[in-house]
Structure formats: C-alpha cells, structure tokens
Amino acid sequence: MSRTLGQLLRNSAESHPHRIAVDDPERDHRITYSELEQRAGRLRDLLLHYGTRPGDRIGLCAPKSVGSVCAIFGILTARAAYVPVDAGAPPSRNAGIFDDCTIRMAVVAGQLLEGLKDAWPDQSISVLEHLEEDLFLVSGVARTAESAPAADENASPDEVAYILYTSGSTGKPKGVVHTHRSALSFIDWCSEVFEPVESDRFSSHAPFHFDLSILDIYVPLKHGATVVLIGEELGKQPLRLAPFIPGARITVWYSTPSILRILADYGKLDRLQFPDLRLLLFAGEVFPVKHLRTLRKLWPRPRYFNLYGPTETNVCTYYEIPDDIPDDRTEPFPIGFACSGDRTMVADDDGHEVGRGEEGELLVSGGSVMRDYWNLPQRTEQAFFVDGDGSAWYKTGDVVRESADDGYVFAGRRDRMVKRRGYRVELGEIEAALYRHPLVTEAAVTSAPDEENGVLIKAFLTLSNGSRPSLVEMKRFCIEHLPAYMVPDRFVFPGSLPKTSTDKIDYQRLKESA
C-alpha cells in the first residue's frame, strides 16, 4: 500500500506507463503515466537543486492544465507540500496566503506573474526557471542551492502533503493542513466503495484549491485511470459542458450540486446520450430534491452518491441515492453513514453524545481528519473536542440527527442559526421550503440584526421564467410551508446568485449587497 501521494504515481507509471494519465480535451493535450512521472521528476530535481527540504511549502498559482498536474507531483515527490490558490482571485489574496504559510518557492503561470509581484512588494520575487506550458518557478524565500536529501522514497506518511485555504470567520483565509496519511485514508476509502478500474475517466471539474480535487486527481491516478481536465469557463457553461461529458467519455462525475442543477436545467441533456457514465458523485452543499429528481430522470443509469465532509475531514459520510425518488418527497436526502476508518458521533454543546433522533453537532475522528490549521494553534484547539480516552474529535459545526435507517440527516449549520421571537431558526430550513415553490430554481436566505424584530430575514430567489410572484403570493406560500416566525421579511429576485470560486452560493456577497 502506498505511503505517500507521490507513490501513487510511481506505482501506476510502473504498471501502466503508456496509459493516458491526464487528458485535457479542450486543448487537445494529454500525457501518459510515464511522461507525467518524467515531467514531475524534472520539477522535483529543480526544487531540490534550489534547496527545497522536507516540509517546505511550495505555492501553485496557475489555471488548471496538464502542466499544473505535473507541478503538483513534482512538489510532492520533492517531499514538499503544495499550496494551491485560486488563479482568478485577487493577487493580494493569493500573496497573503503565500506569505501566511511562508512558501519557499512557487509555480506561477506567466500571465499571473506581474500581478503577484505587485501585490507582494515586500518580497523579492524573481524567476528561477521557465517550465513548460508558460509556467515559471519563482523564488519566495528560497534558500541558496545546496545538496538535498533524496526524494520521497523515505518520506513519512505523516509529512504534510498540501494546505488548502478556506474562508475564515475573521475574514482572513485559514490553511487546512492535510498529511499524506489523511489524504490516503480518504483515497483508499474511495477505492473500496467506487471500485475504480483502468478504463475509468474521472472528471476534474473542481479547481485545485478546492477539496473536491483530492478525489479528482488521486483516485484515478491510483488505479491507472485517466483524469479529464475541465477548465473553469467550460465548467460553468451548460450548453458546452453537456456534450463535453460524452465526448470525453467520462465515466465518473464529481462536482457540487449547483453545477449539476444548471446542467439539468439548461444543458438539454435529453438530446444527448451518456453511455459511459456509471457514477455520479456530488458534495459541498445540499442538493434540493426537486433538482436531483429532475437529473435522476435525465440520467437514470449511473449510481448516485451524496458525499459529505468539510475540507478539514475530506469526505467523512456518504449516502447512496435510491433509483426512484418519490414525486412527493421534498426533504433532501441524508448525508448517511460514516466512511470506513472514521468515527462519528452527535454531541451537545458539552461534548456529550445525544440520543438517536436528537439534534446535535456532528463530530468526526479518524484517519481522514486534518492535522491542524496552519500557524493557528488556538483556532486548532477550538476546532477539536478531546474525550476522556484522549481521542480528538473535529467539530464540524454542522447540526445533524441520527435516524434509524438512513444514518445522519443534515439539519443545518450552527453558524446559520438565529434566534427570532424566542425561537431558534435555521436559515437552511427556510431555503429548503422555498425550493418547493415551482418557480424557484435557487434560494439563499440571509439574516441581519434589526431593531424592530431583532432579526431581519431576507430571501434571495432566482426563478425559472420571467414571471415574478408578488410579495403577498410569496408570504402566502411560506405560511403554508413554515411556521409564521420563519417567514422571510423581504424577497429579492436577482438574475442570478453570486458564487464562490468553488461554485457555492456566496453568502458574504449577498449580505454585503443587502
């Protein structure tokens, strides 16, 4: 069994040197396992030449490409950790992330170099090497050239593999640190459940700074299968993306529900055939049942899995969606059962386990859980509950209840619960009710302090056609589906809802626009 992510590539390159490892159909560019290992090795040797040591952080600021996949494995096999950032984000944000984790060097796309230099004036950024595909190796606080240890043959699975930065409650991104061990715990579980084969072609829809990319990259490469790259622009255009899927012969699809929803609504899937698609995986947010039902009818053949887990845990629970979704079902499907190797429990505010059927916070302990937050010891301590046996449990912040047959049912986020008129209100429950309206395609609910009512609740809705229901109609609909104290005060009908770079609804921007 592999001890590091780099060894996954080495094993497949030995077993399947001439199979296609990474395919970029948009650019008609593909690379075999042998070629991927060779190109990753060249970057590894450069990193070692410039003094990279085990545990160093190497930034990655580039759009998704065959070259950026090579860069990831070059970094890993140099026994460094890669720190990917959003190539489309403001340079100041990316520079702040690189500064926070004190990168030694970075692989940067040529068109992003000047912006990064301007945003990082205190650092002397200089180009060390021009790599392939308009990628450059640049200095951060790189050491001078010196002899370095051999690459990852002697690497420990407890060494840091990557750091993914997520939005922090303070407004400053926080780095989630995963080791090779925690990543492989998740990847090995995927192997057990999804049974990948050499002929599989996995979609790589998520950007590399998003945790969904861990499955996209490493599960197929472990099994000699193919990673099919999907660029950011293509990934958000349903009329182009829909025919791309059968054209690229994708067998395993993985994305957020919002992407699947726009495919079902606007991709004209009924005009196409998808003979290769066997698995459809989704994660990152709740999938409203009416949209999932529509997709199930358009794509009846694949097995569907709802995968749950914050970046800090990889995926820690899963639920297989049944073949038939009753027409009268309105509640989202459960997040299901713990993945093998992880333990889960539902606890109250004091860390005491609650009874089945009672709501509480979901806690996770096991191999897939992060090591810590980078350089935030106090935040790390707050994120874990340590039980009487000394086991550390990550506090997800998600409220669930355990059912007798379906595992865990997601009730909402602790940080999206507000008190109104003495009642506890979960904003996600209001959203779920609004999705029952036949015209609503997307719903997002925010709250803000209000002198008169204590809390002002605002609903943002996108509609399936041009007609807009009146305020009275929406209030009447909500009263039929919600207690009076949960009915929104205001309804807003924008043309679309703002999204983050990982295709989730951007609640912060909605609040700022309120």
Q: Convert the pLDDT of each residue in 283-318 to its tens digit.
A: 988 898 999 999 999 999 999 999 999 999 999 999
Contacts of residue 352, Cβ cutoff 8 Å, sequence gap at least 6: none
DSSP type of residue 484: G
The whole-angstrom separation of Cα 449 and Cα 456 is 6
Which residues of 348-474 form beta strands (DSSP E)? 360-366, 372-373, 384-386, 392-402, 408-413, 417-420, 423-426, 440-450, 454-463
In this structure, what are the phi and psi dihedrals at residue 250, rounded to the nearest 5 degrees? -70, 130
In this structure, what are the phi and psi dihedrals at residue 161, rounded to the nearest 5 degrees? -100, -45
User: In 3D, which of 150, 221, 154 has the Cα closest to residue 183?
Assistant: 221
Residue 122 identity: D
Element of type H or E holding 135: strand 135-139
The whole-angstrom separation of Cα 257 and Cα 263 is 10
CB 450 within 8 A of CB 440: no
User: In 3D, which of 424, 493, 501, 415 has the Cα closest to residue 455?
Assistant: 424
pTM of the model: 0.87
User: CA–CA distance from 484 to each of 225, 416, 419 (Å)?
Assistant: 53, 19, 14
CB burial readout 390-419, b (16+ within 10 A) else e: eebbbbbebbbbbeeeebbbbbbeeebbbe
User: CA–CA distance from 191 to each of 71, 188, 204, 273 (Å)?
Assistant: 24, 5, 17, 27
pLDDT score for 142: 47
The whole-angstrom separation of Cα 154 and Cα 115 is 38
| Helix orientation angle between 289-298 and 257-266, rounded to the nearest 10 degrees | 60
CB 251 within 8 A of CB 200: yes
Residues linked to residue 413 through DSSP beta bridges, in sequence order: 398
Contacts of residue 333, Cβ cutoff 8 Å, sequence gap at least 6: 287, 289, 292, 306, 319, 321, 406
DSSP type of residue 314: S
Look at the block and give the residue holding tokens 């780095």: 175
Contacts of residue 67, Cβ cutoff 8 Å, sequence gap at least 6: 39, 131, 132, 133, 134, 135
Element of type H or E holding 294: helix 289-298
Residues linked to residue 505 through DSSP beta bridges, in sequence order: 499
CB 186 within 8 A of CB 370: no
User: CA–CA distance from 347 to each of 174, 208, 356, 357 (Å)?
Assistant: 25, 33, 11, 12
Residues linked to residue 400 through DSSP beta bridges, in sequence order: 360, 410
DSSP type of residue 153: G
In this structure, what are the phi and psi dihedrals at residue 143, rounded to the nearest 5 degrees? -75, 165
CB 464 within 8 A of CB 493: no
User: In 3D, which of 28, 31, 27 has the Cα closest to residue 226?
Assistant: 31
pLDDT score for 1: 61
In this structure, what are the phi and psi dihedrals at residue 449, rounded to the nearest 5 degrees? -60, 145
CB 71 within 8 A of CB 59: no
Residue 1 in tokens: 């069994």
Which residues of 303-391 form beta strands (DSSP E)? 303-308, 317-321, 337-338, 342-347, 360-366, 372-373, 384-386
pLDDT score for 502: 78
Q: How far apart are the first and last CA of the chain?
A: 52
pLDDT score for 171: 55
Q: Which domains does the chain have, with CATH numbers?
A: 31-179 (3.40.50.12780), 187-338 (3.40.50.12780), 342-411 (2.30.38.10), 421-513 (3.30.300.30)
The whole-angstrom separation of Cα 94 and Cα 107 is 13
Per-residue pLDDT of the chain (514 residues; tens, 9 = 90+): 678 999 999 999 999 999 999 999 999 999 999 999 999 999 999 999 999 999 999 999 999 999 999 999 999 999 999 999 989 888 888 999 999 999 999 999 999 999 998 888 766 788 999 998 999 999 875 454 554 555 556 789 999 999 999 875 555 789 999 999 999 999 999 999 999 999 999 999 999 999 999 999 999 999 999 999 999 999 989 999 999 999 999 999 999 998 999 999 999 999 999 999 999 999 988 898 999 999 999 999 999 999 999 999 999 999 999 999 999 998 899 999 999 889 999 999 888 999 999 999 999 999 999 999 999 999 999 999 999 889 999 999 999 999 988 999 998 888 777 877 666 688 888 998 899 999 999 999 998 887 666 788 999 999 987 778 988 999 999 988 887 878 999 999 998 899 888 788 888 888 887 6
User: In 3D, which of 68, 342, 371 has the Cα closest to residue 229?
Assistant: 68
CB-side exposure of 246: number of CA atoms within 13 Å?
12
The whole-angstrom separation of Cα 191 and Cα 200 is 12
